[in-house]
Structure 1
Amino acid sequence: MDRSVSAEFEINIGMSIALTEAGAWVIRADVREFRLEEINDFYRAWLLLERPFSEVKAALDRIAHSASAATPFPFAKLIGSALRAKSGEWTDLAMVWIPFLAAAEKATLKDLLSDVRDSKWASQKTRQLARKYVNEIERGDPKRLN
């Protein structure tokens, strides 16, 4: 794998997020690295959802800035991964972060939010919130999406 830059953000004991010299986001766990590319790769980063979005964003933005990264951390993929898991706990945590996404990022989650809205496993509150976000995406109302 590519060597990682020195700046890392610890998400658990022995586990952190870093950028490779090539600009790829990775999870570092002890001596191993796992790339964060596809939505399915992000389950290792779900612990981030237990923290305030502003704290996580600031830390990952610092890493991206110090590495002169062209690509910011893909928060929509992290949120999408948690929504796809069909877990009430992780979905509830992910739903808290959705308002912080840009309109274009929210739009990428429309199908997953529709699945949550139509699910039997999510709580009524979560299904209602998913319905609200889907309606906002479908209306394309930039004031409501941001």
Structure 2
Amino acid sequence: MRNYLVRFSLDELNICRDELGGWHLEGHDLSFPLVEASDFKRIISLLETPVEVAKAALGDGFPYVCVVEAGLNHDSDYWIGLALSWVADVTARDASQLIKQLKILSTDKAVSQKNRQLARKEFKRLSNVDS
């Protein structure tokens, strides 16, 4: 295993930041870079951690919005709900990335009524911040 500046344990894997600022998911004999949006599906269980705990461990440089997007784009209402609970902590700069998905979720009948309402609430809030 390499030397990392930041390390956060997630199940039996670690989310790590290297000296160059790159994020990785590391385990016993495996390593995955966290670069593309699809890479963050591997760490979707981070959404089960309170956002304050994740931020205290990973710091401000972690791309939290990518994990939130992975949750919002998931087929499971469970992950959507957890992602929605993190939306309020996404930076205003990153919020614009979520507006389209929140609008879609707010009207998607396959999503629970609770999550549709939360998506609608966050969509309105972020739309007002964006303008």
Counterpart residue identity of residue 42, structure 2: R
Coordinate RMSD, CA, aligned: 2.0
After superposing on structure 2, the runs of 4+ consecutive aligned residues of structure 1 that deviate more than 3 Å are none
Aligned equivalent of 2:54: 56
Count of paired positions: 131
Contact 1:39 1:81 in 2 (8 A): yes
Q: Separation in 2 of the partners of 1:24 and 1:112?
A: 26
Structure 2 length as normaliser, TM-score? 0.90
Unmatched tracts of structure 2, length 5 or more: none
Counterpart residue identity of residue 103, structure 2: S
- Once the two structures are TM-superposed, the CA of residue 6 in structure 1 deviates from its matched residue by 5.7
Q: Separation in 2 of the partners of 1:83 and 1:137?
A: 15
User: 2:53 is paired with a residue of what secondary structure?
Assistant: helix
Counterpart residue identity of residue 128, structure 2: R
Q: Report the identity percentage.
A: 32
- Once the two structures are TM-superposed, the CA of residue 4 in structure 1 deviates from its matched residue by 4.5
Aligned equivalent of 2:128: 139
Structure 1 length as normaliser, TM-score? 0.81
Stretch deviating more after TM superposition (29-38 or 123-132)? 29-38
Unmatched tracts of structure 1, length 5 or more: 65-71
User: 2:21 is paired with a residue of what secondary structure?
Assistant: coil
Instruction: Report Cα offsets for 1:21-57 as digits up to 9, x if no partner.
Output: 3211111122211111121110111111111110111
